[in-house]
Structure 1
């Protein structure tokens, strides 16, 4: 049995969390109380500082999972958070767009080397058609913006935008994080599967991944589990439909389903044929961008990784600016060991997922407020420091 040092429990400020934790050299697989103390120490100060109404945290170690639930899913109804509470996972949805594309490739109906005009003839010979699907999926098409422009409200207008778009750089030269980029990527993947994204995700993708409570369109039967998000004015809100919302940030899921998804990413061999190859393909790195390697959906870091490097890779400049890339000479399996991560936000929700396959450890943090990304990274890193010691 491990002993939590008093020093750990006394550290309450997020600014000092990472320095308070001393890496453990072993852990007791059945010691839920010990793991809870570690998670509590990392999570509770963040919730207090940023007035987060509720949070669901899940941890997996060596194919075992633990769930830690805090606060409420609805302040109005005082509904308690559970591992079955549905959260908007925001841009973590992009990992599902990536898997749908690699699944379509595994099925032989799409190639990442294809260009948009193959699937959308109205885009043939346009500037966007110079980019490959791989460029779209890694935000390297040439400088597409972060958001779909406000004046666009339907797919016809979206296609007209792409027809007239002028790139800032050649495909593959810069990475600029972009919902239109991943949105077009996911849209084309669904077209290759002869469907729309929401339908193929809910009928093929989620069932084959064993996700029983993950949705694009939350059905009436699951509405009672759907949390309310809270914006800066503390108004209860949920995401509203928009062009490419489902591909870029529209998935709703629970911590139980998301930690199951993480475990499949840690050990894809448990999946059948094409889906196994699809998940494995999202672990390939294509472009070095500052502190991290960009793959499809996931962002990668050699492990162990410093907190400073993880914060740099999840920084505001990575989110808002065009950053030069260094294309890897050939698509490569990650340099082992590797940490994979992805953040996500909607107006009322904030999420963070990370995992290290070689350590067989993963962390899911889902909240019904979009609190700052650095706070998410620091809290998850503090938990990781305790549960899988980092060589500094």
Structure 2
């Protein structure tokens, strides 16, 4: 009996040893593949990763699609610095991977031939503890509005990855302003409504469209003009089944252009400043080879590139830089003296320090030829002037502003004016736009009928749209 037990135990050890050896060999083989993927990723050679994939994988995604996806991902996260095996599951093996600007869970599965059958990246969950101390503010907490602002902003500003926030509520001509947090995590200095400068990101697109609207009101341009009228003759006709892409299509994101052009990822991209290397020659180069695949004006698809093309058209047609256009056409007329793109030495000292999604300090962004999609920097007081102009409808820009509010596209999920998103809440309609760069978030929204508006600027990449829309709703 004893001999039988010893024999069975020996078989168990042998079986366990074989499985353990097999598992180790499997992990070693996986580790080698992961190392190859990492090396080729850092060398910007996605085609060498693609040849490691299985026939099944390649049926789902072409080499061109794969290369574009990997290039976009590299532009966002930077070089791949390390990886450590995490676990095995039904989807394959997971590795905790560290990139220059991100931490990701890399999931990979190999088929029986040792080819990559599944490859996926997902942001590694990061727990950022909330701030222990009560973040400072100038909110007097005296009335209903004060308490409402405190309720919605306190949860935001106590997050570990946020820093500072300024907010203004405009109601029938009366303006209430609030400041929370700091201009820099190293300083205990509340953001100042008059002087502290924030990047407003994609709210810039509403300035872009307002310049277009003024040209249309003046009769110098038409919304249904094909964009080829304003582009170099060398660029082929941009149309789908005979229907041209128009200026309106650029302003309301129905052009069919991608969110970002594929050739923005062709050269080395700095994830901390991802657009600065993209000159106007590259913008035109993409247009030279672009083949429209969607009927213009029929589908909302948000496009930073489309906004950049519109800004470039305005520069080319009006013979002025985009910055000079916004300064002369909008900022000077609305007395917005602290708004622009290029910062003087004094203004740079007033620029708040931005922080990314994990609370790390970021650099200001340079958007090069895509500046019309999100390059403007401003203060709370200046953006209050801009918001008031949207609801007061007076002054030299009122006709262009009114035109920019008119619906130009009505979709199931999103309706658009010129630059402005249009949403309904019960019987009320409000217009709004959010913005974001590497270290900032912004929101401008208003209800022209009720004469209310909200402006929010934050020096952290934590979204503020929910806060802004909450007030308008």
Normalised by the shorter chain, which TM-score bucket?
Answer: 0.7 to 0.9
Q: Match for residue 293 of structure 1?
A: 415
Aligned residues: 319
Deviation at 1:382, TM superposition (A): 3.8
1:73–1:361 CA distance, 2 compared to 1 (3 A): same
Deviation at 1:219, TM superposition (A): 1.9
Deviation at 1:198, TM superposition (A): 1.2
RMSD over aligned Cα, in angstroms? 2.3
Deviation at 1:50, TM superposition (A): 5.4
Q: Match for residue 355 of structure 1?
A: 446
Deviation at 1:220, TM superposition (A): 2.1
Aligned 8 A contact 1:249 1:344 in 2? yes
Q: Match for residue 116 of structure 2?
A: none
- Bigger shift: residues 220-229 or 119-128: 119-128
Q: Establish whether residue 93 from structure 1 lines up as the match of residue 204 from structure 2.
A: yes
Q: Work out the CA distance in 1 between the residues paired with 2:411 and 2:462.
A: 25
Q: Establish whether residue 78 from structure 1 lines up as the match of residue 188 from structure 2.
A: yes
Aligned 8 A contact 2:257 2:305 in 1? no
Q: Work out the CA distance in 2 between the residues paired with 1:32 and 1:99.
A: 38
Q: Establish whether residue 69 from structure 1 lines up as the match of residue 210 from structure 2.
A: no
Aligned residue among 235, 246, 270 for 1:132: 246
Q: Work out the CA distance in 2 between the residues paired with 1:355 and 1:180.
A: 26
Aligned residue among 93, 108, 132 for 2:219: 108
SS at match of 2:449: helix
1:109–1:32 CA distance, 2 compared to 1 (3 A): farther
Q: Establish whether residue 378 from structure 1 lines up as the match of residue 469 from structure 2.
A: no
Aligned residue among 157, 160, 168 for 1:47: 157
Q: Work out the CA distance in 1 between the residues paired with 2:315 and 2:282.
A: 19
Aligned 8 A contact 1:101 1:186 in 2? no
Deviation at 1:207, TM superposition (A): 0.7
Structure possessing the higher relative contact order (Cα contacts under 8 Å, 6 or more residues apart): 1
Aligned residue among 205, 228, 231 for 1:117: 228
Q: 1:274-293 maps to which residues of 2 (within 5 A)?
A: 275-293=397-415
Q: Match for residue 4 of structure 1?
A: none
Q: Work out the CA distance in 1 between the residues paired with 2:366 and 2:338.
A: 20
Q: Work out the CA distance in 1 between the residues paired with 2:413 and 2:358.
A: 34
Deviation at 1:358, TM superposition (A): 1.2
Q: Match for residue 34 of structure 1?
A: 144
Deviation at 1:192, TM superposition (A): 2.5
The TM-score normalised by the length of structure 1 is 0.76
Q: Work out the CA distance in 2 between the residues paired with 1:92 and 1:174.
A: 21
Aligned 8 A contact 1:98 1:297 in 2? yes
Aligned 8 A contact 1:291 1:301 in 2? no
The structure 1 segments of at least 4 consecutive aligned residues displaced by more than 4 Å after TM superposition are: none
Q: Work out the CA distance in 2 between the residues paired with 1:239 and 1:163.
A: 31
Q: Work out the CA distance in 2 between the residues paired with 1:37 and 1:212.
A: 31
Aligned 8 A contact 2:203 2:435 in 1? yes
Q: Match for residue 313 of structure 1?
A: none
Task: Provide Cα deviations, 1:1-57, integer angstroms capped at 9, x if missing partner.
Answer: xxxxxxxxxxxxxxxxxxxxxxxxxxxxxx964322210111111122353100000
Structure 2: unaligned runs, 5 residues or longer? 1-140, 267-276
SS at match of 2:455: strand
1:130–1:382 CA distance, 2 compared to 1 (3 A): closer
Aligned residue among 356, 372, 376 for 1:251: 376
- Bigger shift: residues 196-205 or 59-68: 196-205
The TM-score normalised by the length of structure 2 is 0.63
1:114–1:381 CA distance, 2 compared to 1 (3 A): closer
Q: Work out the CA distance in 2 between the residues paired with 1:240 and 1:147.
A: 18
Q: Work out the CA distance in 1 between the residues paired with 2:200 and 2:211.
A: 17
Greater Rg, structure 1 or structure 2? 2
Task: Provide Cα deviations, 1:184-213, integer angstroms capped at 9, x if missing partner.
Answer: 112212322221211211233211122121
SS at match of 1:80: coil
Q: Work out the CA distance in 2 between the residues paired with 1:257 and 1:187.
A: 25
Q: Establish whether residue 150 from structure 1 lines up as the match of residue 265 from structure 2.
A: yes
Aligned 8 A contact 2:228 2:235 in 1? yes
Structure 1: unaligned runs, 5 residues or longer? 1-30, 306-336, 386-392
Aligned 8 A contact 1:32 1:66 in 2? no
Task: Provide Cα deviations, 1:122-157, integer angstroms capped at 9, x if missing partner.
Answer: 355332692011111111112423467223721112
Q: Match for residue 312 of structure 2?
A: 187
1:290–1:123 CA distance, 2 compared to 1 (3 A): farther
Q: Work out the CA distance in 1 between the residues paired with 2:265 and 2:230.
A: 25
